[in-house]
Chain A
Amino acid sequence: MDKKTDRFTRTPMREQKPDVRKHNFDEVPCGYSEEEAVREATRCLQCKHAPCINGCPVHIKIPEFLKLIEEKKYSDAAQKIKEDNALPAVCGRVCPQEIQCELKCVLHGKGAPIAIGNLERFAADWQREHQQAPLERCAIKKNGKKVAIVGSGPSGLTVADELIRAGFEVTIFEALHVAGGVLMYGIPEFRLPKRIMQEEIHHLELLGVKIETNFVVGKTAELDDLFSDEYGFDAIYIGSGAGLPVFMGIPGENSVGVYSANEYLTRSNLMGAYKQNATTPISHGKHVVVVGGGNVAMDAARTALRLGAEHSVIIYRRSEVEMPARDEDVQHAKEEGVEFHCLCNPVAILSDAKGVVTGIRSSRMELGELDDSGRARPVAIKDSEFEIACDVVIIAIGNHPNPLIPQTAPDIDISSRGTIIVDETTGRTSKKYVYAGGDIVTGSATVILAMGAGKIAAKSMIEDLL
């Protein structure tokens, strides 16, 4: 390392300026140059015990790939990541590294931890842009077993990657017309360009993974059909996600102009409503209120700005400290002009005679005792109600598990919350040769946790079937 290089200071990533980016759907961070990447990777101390790896739900060999970047072997670095993670270009962008690998970095506290996420993204992007498709998996020996994967979100794709490499014949069944799950319909273009997502999926297809879109497991075929001679699968992995939006149950919620975040983001992302020529309509609200404090709420509030909103407001019932969204996303939203009303809870959505939204009424809240989640419980302050005028309300307060599989597979044990019950160490469900992971098991969580669950299930599927 150059003696002048500061071991403790992070190499920043260039970003589009807030007043420019809030009018376009292009990605906000611009990525590292080779020089920046090498400089950042060189800061790594190459600790023998590598605590960062323990912070990663899929255990990427972080010091090894950082070393390869330092040596300017960028494609090798990407390969090293792909040994453990099928979607590095995605995770480099959307993982909450600050509470995972980067939190465990020994530089953390003394200075800034290594920008592991930025470097993961750099390696994956470099390999993709230089079209150095990995060759090692071309000659995979088949083991003769067939596996069906339900859902093509992060956990399903991870299982597909693990099992195709282990010699299985792998088919992913996706209900929508495009593969990718929440990465396609949920996360907006400006955080995760859809082109990159599709290339990561295409990469899996090159390895031999088959993807059947427009196929709703539970409807087009039930689990038992997939085991029958007609389909002939030996095992099934369920990664159908947390698909059922939660509403607040307050008056006016069915008014015209009230969306679940899923609907709003799906219209914009998956159906391309943000493009000029798309046929799927979306309300181009001038005054948009988003209810919720997670990443999805930030995505919705920032999408609204890009669709032309003059005001985009977040209403969150706890304080900013409790906000589950990533700091980076909250920061980006603030820079772009999203207004935050914390410690507020909606009590009614107001509408005109035609049932079209005109505003939202909320109570101010204060924090009380800790609740089951370990966070301070918000309590309404008496006589504190106030109104905000708006023409669109987006509800982003979470999702229930998708009911389609539980409805049609009564022999799978389901929790009272509607999630599929599995043995956490193996991903096995109560039904033989059926495994599950991701949001359908945990309820709404992160991309990388879903991927971690996929890896665990894949491992036990290999054990059980071979």
Chain B
Amino acid sequence: MHTILKKERLNELVWRYRIAAPKIAKKRQAGQFVIVRVESDGERVPLTIADADASAGWIELIVQAVGHTTTKMSQLNEGDVILDLMGPLGHPTEIKKYGRCLCIGGGVGVAALYSIASALKAAENEVTTIVGARNQNLLLLETELEKVSDRLLIATDDGSKGQHGFVSDVFKKLQAQGEHFDFAIIVGPVMMMKVTSDLTVAAGIKTLVSLNPIMIDGTGMCGGCRVCVNNEIKFACVDGPEFDASGVDWDTVMQRLNAYHDVEKKHQCKLNGLPHDG
């Protein structure tokens, strides 16, 4: 039984869930995800494991209510049970002593970023974390990230906190100051990953991106999560979710993410009781 032990609202649309999952907590490593289903005949959606405690037997997930299933999940409360929870899935992040590391993230991508930054820090790396959001109210896990980073830099689109602009602007500034890095991991919205990784790769930094395509089974069976890396088809669930940014074909990643955009809009209308135009 995957009972919700704790539910905490992080902002208007984002919640943090602590869920009893002893087997997953024991096996999970940084960068891995679970697949969640919250209702019978419901979808299976992938969610990154933000944190876990093996001895206490829980994992934490950060959930942004953007689609049908995540909205349904946001309506669950402490004491409720997650119908299906499967994992930990995907290859863990390769953690070793790289030297100077950049952890860059935005949106709910910071869930993965937090687990990876913690692991990199524990492996004696010097960790610079850059996170971005539209405004300061939408910043996630700021305190947590501060604890596991040697320094935390912030960018907001409206300038309400930190650098006025994007995470890529912060990186450019560091670069202009003559800083060098040995490794970068970027997790967040696709456009952010594309733009930022273009810069870090051009700067000669080994850069991984964590992709979050549409997924069904999570075990390699359906191929729905396929991405094109170095002109080869890879499955994010069993070959990823992290890939070397230099080989990722971003155009198809973006195309495929929007495949069910119209259907999602209808679901949202159903959930919110609004009429839809399609």
Q: Which residues of A contact B (CB under 8 A)?
A: 175-177, 185, 213-216, 219-221, 243-245, 247, 249, 253-257, 259-260, 262-263, 266-267, 271-272, 275, 277-281, 354-355, 402-404, 407
Contact = CB atoms under 8 A, between A and B. Distances in A.
Interface string B13-32: 00000000001100100000
Given A249-B233, A279-B39, A280-B41, 9 more contacts: A176-B86, A243-B221, A245-B223, A256-B256, A262-B223, A263-B224, A271-B44, A275-B41, A281-B260
Contacts of A403: 220, 238
28 contacts: A176-B86, A177-B86, A219-B27, A219-B87, A219-B89, A220-B23, A220-B24, A220-B86, A220-B87, A243-B219, A245-B223, A254-B226, A254-B233, A254-B255, A255-B255, A256-B255, A256-B258, A266-B221, A266-B222, A277-B41, A279-B39, A279-B41, A279-B43, A279-B68, A279-B267, A280-B42, A281-B264, A403-B220
Interface of B: 23-24, 27, 37, 39, 41-44, 68-69, 83-89, 216-224, 226-228, 233, 235, 238, 249, 251-252, 255-256, 258-260, 263-264, 267
B222 A245 contact: yes
Contact of B222 (A213, A256, A262, A279): A262
B216 A266 contact: yes
Contact of B41 (A247, A266, A278): A278
A247 B234 CA distance: 11
Q: Which 5 A-B pairs have the closest CB atoms?
A: A355-B255, A263-B222, A260-B223, A214-B86, A281-B263
- Of A176, A247, A259, A277, chain B has the most CB atoms within 10 Å of the CB of A176
B217 A279 contact: no
A354 B228 CA distance: 17
- Of B43, B216, B221, chain A has the most CB atoms within 10 Å of the CB of B221
Contacts of A259: 223-224
B216 A271 contact: yes
Given A243-B221, A266-B221, A221 B251 contact: no
B interface, over-half SS: mixed
A355 B251 contact: yes
A260 B218 CA distance: 14
A129 B85 CA distance: 34
Given A213-B84, A221-B23, A407-B238, A244 B220 contact: yes
A150 B130 CA distance: 42
Given A214-B85, A266-B217, A404 B238 contact: yes
Contacts of A354: 255, 258
Contacts of A404: 219-220, 238
B27 A177 contact: no
Nearest to B39: A279
A221 B88 CA distance: 9
Given A221-B27, A403-B238, A254 B37 contact: no
B220 to A, nearest CB: 5
A218 to B, nearest CB: 9
Contacts of A263: 216, 222-224
Given A216-B86, A220-B87, A256-B255, A402 B222 contact: no
A194 to B, nearest CB: 12
Contacts of B89: 216, 219
B32 to A, nearest CB: 8
A277 B267 CA distance: 10
B43 A254 contact: no
B45 to A, nearest CB: 10
A444 to B, nearest CB: 12
Contacts of A216: 86-87, 89, 218-219
Contacts of A281: 260, 263-264
A25 to B, nearest CB: 14
Contacts of A407: 238
A203 B226 CA distance: 37
B109 to A, nearest CB: 22
A260 B24 CA distance: 29
A175 B220 CA distance: 11
Contacts of A215: 23, 86
A269 to B, nearest CB: 12
A256 B37 CA distance: 24
B252 A254 contact: yes
Contacts of A249: 233
Given A247-B226, A266-B216, A266-B221, A256 B44 contact: no
A267 B69 CA distance: 15
A266 B223 CA distance: 11
Contacts of B259: 256-257
B66 to A, nearest CB: 14
Nearest to B239: A403
A254 B233 CA distance: 9
A244 B44 contact: no
A8 B259 CA distance: 54
Contacts of B267: 279
A42 B86 CA distance: 51
B74 to A, nearest CB: 15
B252 A243 contact: no
Nearest to A242: B221
A404 B88 CA distance: 12
Contacts of B224: 259-260, 263
Contacts of B255: 254-256, 354-355
Nearest to B38: A279
B147 to A, nearest CB: 28
Contacts of B226: 247, 254
Nearest to A354: B255
- Of B43, B84, B222, B249, chain A has the most CB atoms within 10 Å of the CB of B222
Nearest to A220: B23
A254 B260 CA distance: 14
A262 B222 CA distance: 5
Nearest to B257: A256
A354 B255 CA distance: 7
